[in-house]
Amino acid sequence: MAETAGTAGTGRVDTVRLQMLAQAYQRSAALFAAVEIDLFTAVEKGAGSVEALAEALGISPRNAARIVPVLLALGLLERRDGRLANAADVQRFLVRGEPSYAGPWMLFTKPRWTEWGRLAEHLKAQDTRPLGMYESFTVDDARKYHQATYSVGMGAGRRFVREVDLAGRKKLLDLGGGSGAYSINAVQKWTGLRAVVFDLPPVAVVAREFIQQNGVADRVEAMAGDFTRDAFPPGCDVAVMASNLPQYDAAIIAEVIARTFAALAPGGEMHLIGEMLDDDGAGPIGPALWGLSEALFHSTGRAHTEAECLGYFRAAGFVDLTVKPFIPGVLTRVTGRKPG
Ligand SMILES: C[S@@+](CC[C@H](N)C(=O)[O-])C[C@H]1O[C@@H](n2cnc3c(N)ncnc32)[C@H](O)[C@@H]1O
């Protein structure tokens, strides 16, 4: 739903909402900095006051006194019994050392900071690079990128195996599988399942590291390939494609889905887990922004609506189509079955 025009409770249109939006980058900066200086970890370890935080972080009491009210106002910190404490999501995801630590994901888009500042110029540029940001991707880029995606991807992979029953399935094709988070979780749950993480050559190198680290190298392989043009491995009866939808235009996504249909065994199923827009195209804001961010890379990518995604599945020949929120407001799952 679109945000409504600001009236600040007076009934008259004012500038408050516009000012908040214009300065929203400062909120991102406060969160980035708090993660980078490990402020929330210090709070967890007992720094319950501005002075104690300043000492624990090695910053001046004045700077601690500057950032704490912002984090309180944003609801990232709370006061409990007169002491600073982390909000529940901060405690779970931003305390370093916890298995659920997702700091790298929170900083994932920070390298794009300068280019977002040049968005107006990017909007006027040519946008004809189908592979966008991946055109010059190196193994080092891929390693950094997937340390971040892994820190949330494992949670998404766990959610996928909770929601989707793959009992009896033999081989999973994980298109653009990145760290392999979905494949790793799937073979850990279904011991008869094998998986192929199909990703660009530098990413396949990094995927093998995560696969090894999770002790599933005997059942998950990483295959280097570009899903927009390279042949898919044979013998797969389930395919998942997660979190790369807005990086491509309609023609490419439709083609990838059609080629997946052709490659799947009869009776096989495909799950597209993507940042999808509502059918009226007016949000959610997250998927809309992922689509807009493609302008920074001059790619042909854009956000797709749920109805468009259903259309790609139908045109490919999939039946029994379903659409379900996967992470509400963030990711939607469209599923289809290849007739047996
Ligand atoms: C945001 S990551 C998501 C990774 C993983 N699916 C997950 O959800 O954790 C997007 C992935 O798609 C891969 N990808 C994008 N375009 C691709 C292409 N043309 N061929 C193969 N992989 C691609 C990227 O390399 C990256 O690993």
For position 312, what pLDDT does the model report? 98
Q: 70 with 33: CB under 8 angstroms?
A: no
Which atom of ligand 1 is nearest to 174's Cα? 6
Cα 340 to middle of ligand 1, angstroms:
28
Cα 225 to middle of ligand 1, angstroms:
11
For position 184, what pLDDT does the model report? 98
Q: 41 with 27: CB under 8 angstroms?
A: no
270 φ, ψ (degrees, to nearest 5): -125, 140
Q: 320 with 309: CB under 8 angstroms?
A: no
Spatial separation of the C-alpha atoms in residues 182 and 154, rounded to whole Å: 7
Cα 178 to middle of ligand 1, angstroms:
5
The closest residue, in CA terms, to atom 9 on ligand 1 is 153
Q: 42 with 53: CB under 8 angstroms?
A: yes
164 φ, ψ (degrees, to nearest 5): -115, 125
Which atom of ligand 1 is nearest to 152's Cα? 9
Residues of the chain with CATH 3.40.50.150: 117-337
Q: 197 with 184: CB under 8 angstroms?
A: no
Q: 285 with 305: CB under 8 angstroms?
A: no
For position 11, what pLDDT does the model report? 80
Helix, coil or strand: residue 274: strand
- 134 Cβ inside 6 Å of ligand 1: yes
The closest residue, in CA terms, to atom 20 on ligand 1 is 226
For position 58, what pLDDT does the model report? 98
Spatial separation of the C-alpha atoms in residues 112 and 246, rounded to whole Å: 16
CA distances from 243 to 55, 111, 272, 316 (A): 40, 19, 8, 20
> Radius of gyration (Cα) for the chain, nearest Å?
22
The closest residue, in CA terms, to atom 23 on ligand 1 is 176
Cα 244 to middle of ligand 1, angstroms:
6
For position 309, what pLDDT does the model report? 98
Closest CA to 250 of 288, 289, 305: 305
Q: Which residue has the tokens 């249909």?
A: 261
CB-based contacts of 256: which residues, under 8 Å, 6+ apart?
Answer: 175, 227, 228, 241, 248
- 181 Cβ inside 6 Å of ligand 1: yes
- 294 Cβ inside 6 Å of ligand 1: no
For position 3, what pLDDT does the model report? 55
For position 1, what pLDDT does the model report? 44
Chain mean position to CA 269? 22
Mark out the alpha helices in the chain (DSSP H runs).
16-22, 24-36, 39-44, 50-57, 61-73, 88-93, 103-106, 113-116, 119-123, 139-163, 181-189, 201-213, 250-263, 285-293, 306-316
CB-based contacts of 86: which residues, under 8 Å, 6+ apart?
Answer: 40, 43, 44, 76, 77, 78, 94, 95
Chain mean position to CA 232? 24
Q: What angle do CA 95, 98, 101 make, to 5 degrees?
A: 65
Provide the CATH topology of domain 117-337. Rossmann fold (3.40.50)
Q: Flag residues of the chain having pLDDT under 50.
A: 1
Q: 308 with 281: CB under 8 angstroms?
A: no
Spatial separation of the C-alpha atoms in residues 322 and 225, rounded to whole Å: 28
> Helix 181-189 to helix 139-163 angle, to the nearest 10 degrees?
40
- 199 Cβ inside 6 Å of ligand 1: yes
Residues of the chain with CATH 1.10.10.10: 16-98
Cα 134 to middle of ligand 1, angstroms:
9
Which one of 3.30.565.10, 1.10.10.10, 1.10.1060.10, 3.40.50.12780 gives the CATH number of domain 16-98? Answer: 1.10.10.10
For position 177, what pLDDT does the model report? 98
Which atom of ligand 1 is nearest to 203's Cα? 25
Cα 315 to middle of ligand 1, angstroms:
23
For position 79, what pLDDT does the model report? 98
Cα 176 to middle of ligand 1, angstroms:
3
The closest residue, in CA terms, to atom 13 on ligand 1 is 176
- 244 Cβ inside 6 Å of ligand 1: yes
Q: How many CB atoms lie within 10 A of CB 318?
A: 25
- 202 Cβ inside 6 Å of ligand 1: no
